[in-house]
Each structure stands twice: as C-alpha cells, then as structure tokens.
Amino acid sequence: MATMGFWAWAQQMPDRLALVTADDEQFTYAQLLARVNRLAHGLRAQGLQRGDLVAVVLPNEAAWVETYMAVHQIGLYMTAINYHLTGSEIAYILQNSEAKLAIADARYAEAVTVAIKESNFPKERCFAIGQIPGFRAYETLSAGQPDTLPDQREAGQLMLYTSGTTGRPKGVRRALPGGPPEAGAMQGALLASMFDIKAGEGVHLAQGPLYHAAPGAFAMGGLHLGQSLVLMDKWTPEACLDRIQKYRVTATHMVPTMFHRLLKLPEAEQRRYDVSSLKSVIHAAAPCPVETKQKMMAWWGPVIYEYYAATEGGGAYVKPRDWLQHPGTVGKPFPGAMLKILDESGQELPQGEVGTIYMGSPLGEFEYYKDKEKTAKARQGNLFTVGDVGYFDKDGWLFISDRKTDMIISGGVNIYPAEIEAVLHQHPKVADVAVFGVPDDDWGESVKAIVEPLPGVSASPELAEEILIYCREKLASYKVPRSVEFRDSLPRLTTGKLYKRLLRDEYWQGRDRKI
C-alpha cells in the first residue's frame, strides 16, 4: 500500500481541495499543511514535550483539524472535550487528563471560564478562537512560526473520554505508538478499506461532532486518504442533504437519529436533493431499527455500512449486501478483533443465547486513566465490555439486544427497550422516543415510554392511546408500554446516544434498581 497520511498527500497533490468549513471557507492541502506545520512549531515553542496533552473545546471548525494534525506529528496527546459539558465537567477532564495547554472557542466562553477557575489551569496556557477574557488569541500560537515540517516527527495519540451516559466520563489512554505519523495514518487507511473507501479520491462529510471518537476518526481518516473534508456545524436534515448535493459527497458517518429525522421529511423534500454521489454511508452509536435502515437503503441505495465498537476499541462491521441478507445484524469482528458472548460467571455462551458482549481490540491494551478499578471491572482476561448484551446467530453474525443497564426485568422476564423503541420510531407522529423500566410494586418494573412528538403534533391523551394501540398491533403484550408520557425534547447526545439515565433517575429516586 502506498504511503498514506495527510502530510504525504499534501506534498503529492498540494492543490487538491482539503477542507471546507461550515461557513464554506476552503483550504487546499498545501494551505492546510502550512497552517498545521506552523501550529506544530508553535506548540513546541510553548514548551510542550513528547507525551504532553493538549485539550480542546472546539466545534467542527478549521482549528480542530489543525490541532489534530499538528499534535499527531509531534508525539503529543489530544483530548477533544464535549462542548456541551458544564464548566465543572470540563474542569474534571482538564485535571484528570493532566492537560498542559487548552484551546477553546469563544462560543463556550462561559463554561470554559468556570472550568479554568475550578481546575486552577494556568491562564497563560489558554488560547481562544474569538474573545475569552484572559485567554491569548489562538493565532498567536502560530505567529512567526515556519511552515516547514517539524524535526523529529513522531506519531501522536488521542486520549478520548467516554460519553459518560452511565456515570462520570472515563479517559481511555494508550501508549504513544512511536514511529512516524504516517504509520498511524496507515491504520486509518486499513479501517477505511473495510467500508470500501478508496484512497486519493472522494469527499467526506463530517456531520457529527468531531470531539466524538467515530466522527473524528472517519473525518481525519478522510484527510489521511487524500479526500476532501466538508464540515457541518449544526445538523438539520435539509442541511445534510444540501451539502451532499453541493459537494458531491461520497462518504460520511451518521447515527440512526439522523436517519429517523431524514425519513420524517416530506417525500417531495427528499426527492429534491441529488444523493447519487454517495458510496459509503457508515453508521453506529445506537441501535438502528431494521425498518428504518431498509427505508434508507430504498432511498439512498445499498451504500449503508454499519459497525459496532466502543471508544475503548474492538468491534464488528457489516457491509450493505450482507446486512440485507441478515437484517438487524451489526456484523462480524473487525480484522484482528475478537468478540465473545459471556454469561455472568464469564463462561462463553453458545450461538443463539443472549449474554454480555466482550471484545478484544486490535489496537492493543488500554486503561481508564487513573482508574485501575474501573479498568479491571470491565475486563474478563484480555477482553473488555461496555455493558451491551447480544448473541451470535448460527452463521456467526452478531445481534445486539440492548445495553445491560437498560434492560427491563418485569415479573422475572427480560424486556429489551431497543426493540420497543424500534417500533415506536416508525409511528408517523413520533420524532424521538425513550423506553425504560420504572418501579412497579407487583412486577418489579413496568415499561414506560417517553415520546417527543413531531413538530406540529400536540401531546394529548388521545395521542398516547393511539401510540399504545400501535404497539399492541406490533408487540407481544408484555412488551407494550404501560404508560406514555410526552416531552418537548429528549436528552440525546450529539453523538446520537440517548442519555436515558437522566430520564430513568426521575422515577427511581429513593429506590434501589438491581440491574
């Protein structure tokens, strides 16, 4: 395989379009490389040394891309912090990660200012895009620096934090890989090949927040493959379709929530956009109902790939034609990865039996930073779990039932909310839904559905009954929600994950939930 990596492509084809910002500002590979190199020199000028960490609180903008590529060629770590976090939550990550320098966008000034104060982070090491009181301008990092490749180039590494939907975020830290940065880029090229993405051509659309592992990895992987990278800042169905058409997008990463919202558009609006350029639409992060994916393939063609993985590594993937033969599967193991279904005692279960999914990562060992207890708790030997349950069918395809902590036990029967949510997502008046167990003195738990109606649809007892009748037609009686409530919006992360614990905890205050 030819040498990969953003830096190599920039020297081989300097005039190729590299980056389009959310505001449609454009940079060639040569222009972007010059900015990256100046920043790399600037970070070293700040005294950063091998293994130090740069924390960023940035939206999908040029500075995010520049920082990533700079860090990854001078042997540093980068932690991209979720910009929706509060000041105290950001402060925790700054302290836990032992960041040596921080870069933030002015739109998050309020939270970042609180974080810097609570963490006692040195102001002289804080840089801002825009104005944040006490911060130095981001541009000063690069000012007066050369645009040549730095000396002693070495691959850097991301230190990612889990989304924290079941507790405090956990930092996933691996040792620096050593060797030149192009070697790390080769791994990204191998990952892309699983999804039939070719090097040296195409356009990648970054729809999700780059701070999350998957959108960031596939977006930066696009640059390492010589693609043009198009950024989105705030996602809407119409904006997504417009950018696909405008820039002839060939590859992108999405989450099922985006599919649901696209499919709720009127058919005439769907047909207004040309999506024929799409070749590899990759999705993950949350369960995708079979019917939803079938509808998307009917619209966009057999271009939708799926994978199951975690920030910690490991996973499975499935190509469109295999999925059509095994609807609902999340695939077979990545090359070099291992997947097993284990029971509560750590024994491997046979095909068809539901148990906890354990993974072995081809990326090597990891630890939850400064938390050996959490690391050990998630492991069985050299395998780890993120708490999902599922099974293998007779042909070895993996199917996910749900997250273990979300499973409802009612009258001793296991009920998987994802199955019920998949049905409710097809209701024509439902924009979003969360299903979980609430306390029940007779049954232990009963099934509750929280529904976000589509815009223009009024919440009412009549709508609740309509939804229950719909469920009774499609689900066994014990799976049908015992009650339906309505909310204007649900606490869904921008990565597509539902922050279900926030909803469930309202009903379990003062009660002990055994799962």
197 and 57 in one domain? no
Average pLDDT of the chain? 88
Same domain for 235 and 363, yes or no, is no
Please state the rounded mean pLDDT for residues 347-362.
Answer: 86
DSSP 8-state code for residue 286? S
Q: Is the pLDDT of residue 1 over 50?
A: no
In this structure, are 398 and 427 located in the same domain? Answer: no
Pull the structure tokens for residue 359.
Answer: 């993974």
Whether the predicted pLDDT of 412 surpasses 90: no
How far apart are alpha carbons 86 and 110 in whole angstroms? Answer: 9
Q: How does DSSP assign 42-76, residue by residue?
A: HHHHTT--TT-EEEEE--SSHHHHHHHHHHTTBT-
Q: Are residues 162 and 270 in the same domain?
A: no
133 and 33 in one domain? Answer: yes
Answer whether residue 3 is part of any domain.
no
Stated pTM of the model: 0.81
Does position 378 have pLDDT exceeding 60, yes or no?
no
Over the stretch 49-71, which tens digit does the pLDDT of each residue have? Answer: 999 999 999 999 999 999 999 99
Local confidence band at 362 (pLDDT 50, 70, 90 cut-offs): low
Q: Under a CB-based contact definition with an 8 Å cutoff, are residues 433 and 419 in contact?
A: no
In a domain, 243, yes or no: yes
Domain boundary among 146, 179, 212: 179
Domain membership of residue 162 (yes or no) is yes
Q: What is the pLDDT of residue 483?
A: 92
Contacts made by residues 439-442, CB under 8 angstroms, sequence distance 24+: 439/507, 439/508, 439/511, 440/410, 440/482
Give the per-residue pLDDT at 267: 92
**Residue 68: its pLDDT value, please?**
97
Q: Give the phi and the psi of residue 188 in degrees, each rounded to 5.
A: -65, -35
Report pLDDT digits (tens) over 159-217. 988 765 445 677 878 888 888 998 877 766 677 778 999 888 899 999 999 998 889 98
Write the CATH number for 444: 3.30.300.30
In a domain, residue 330? The reply is: no
Question: Residue 171's pLDDT is what?
Answer: 81
As for how many domains the chain has, the answer is: 4
**49/152 same-domain check:** yes
CATH of the domain at 363: 2.30.38.10
The enclosing domain of 282 has a CATH number of 3.40.50.980
Q: What is the mean pLDDT of residues 481-497?
A: 84
d(CA 65, CA 55): 13
The verdict on 50 and 84 lying in the same domain is yes
**Residue 411: its pLDDT value, please?**
72
Q: Are 345 and 268 part of one and the same domain?
A: no
Which residues does residue 436 pair with via DSSP β-bridges, in sequence order? 448
pLDDT of residue 400: 85
Q: Residue 153 domain-assigned? A: yes
- Provide the pLDDT for residue 330: 92
Considering the domain architecture, whether residues 356 and 416 belong to the same structural domain is answered as: no
Picking from 284, 156, 168, the residue whose alpha carbon sits closest to that of residue 215 is: 284
Asked whether residue 320 is assigned to any structural domain, the reply reads no
- Find the angle CA(102)-CA(105)-CA(107) to the nearest 5 degrees: 140
Q: Report the amino acid identity of residue 207.
A: Q
DSSP 3-state of 188: helix
Q: Looking at 406, 427, 452, which one is the last position of a domain?
A: 406
Q: What is the pLDDT of residue 510?
A: 66
Range of the domain at 350: 335-406
CA gap 204, 197 in Å, rounded = 10
Q: Model confidence at 370, in pLDDT bands (50, 70, 90)?
A: low
For residues 351 and 374, give the distance between their C-alpha atoms in angstroms, rounded to a whole number.
29
Is there a contact between 328 and 422 (Cβ–Cβ < 8 Å)?
A: no
What's the rounded mean pLDDT across residues 207-229? Answer: 92
If asked whether residues 484 and 433 sit together in one domain, one would say yes
Structure confidence at residue 322 (pLDDT): 96
Model pLDDT for residues 93-114, shown as the tens digit of each residue: 999 999 999 999 999 999 999 9
Looking at 179, 212, 232, the residue that finishes a domain is 179
Choose among 279, 272, 225, 219: nearest CA to 249: 279
State residue 206's pLDDT score: 97
| Mean pLDDT score, 350-369 | 75
497 has a pLDDT exceeding 80: no
Which residue type, as a one-letter code, is found at position 461? P
Residue 77 parent element (H or E): strand 77-80
Residue 373 inside a domain? The answer is: yes
The pLDDT value recorded for residue 418 is 85
Please give the pLDDT value at position 167.
56
The answer to whether the CB of 338 falls within 8 A of the CB of 360 is yes
In 3-state terms, what secondary structure has residue 288? Answer: coil
CA distance linking residue 183 with residue 344, whole number of Å: 39
Sign for the CA dihedral angle at 20, 24, 25, 28 comes to positive
Do residues 55 and 79 touch, judged by C-beta distance below 8 A? yes
- For residues 53 and 93, membership in a common domain is answered with yes
Residues 189 and 263 in one domain: yes
Greater confidence, 269 or 418? Answer: 269
Task: Report the candidate in 181, 160, 184, 223 with the shortest Cα–Cα distance to residue 20.
Answer: 223
Q: Give tens-digit pLDDT for 421-480.
A: 989 999 999 999 999 998 887 777 899 999 999 999 999 999 999 999 999 999 888 899
**What is d(CA 292, CA 257) in angstroms, rounded to the nearest whole number?**
10
The reply to whether 68 falls in a domain is yes
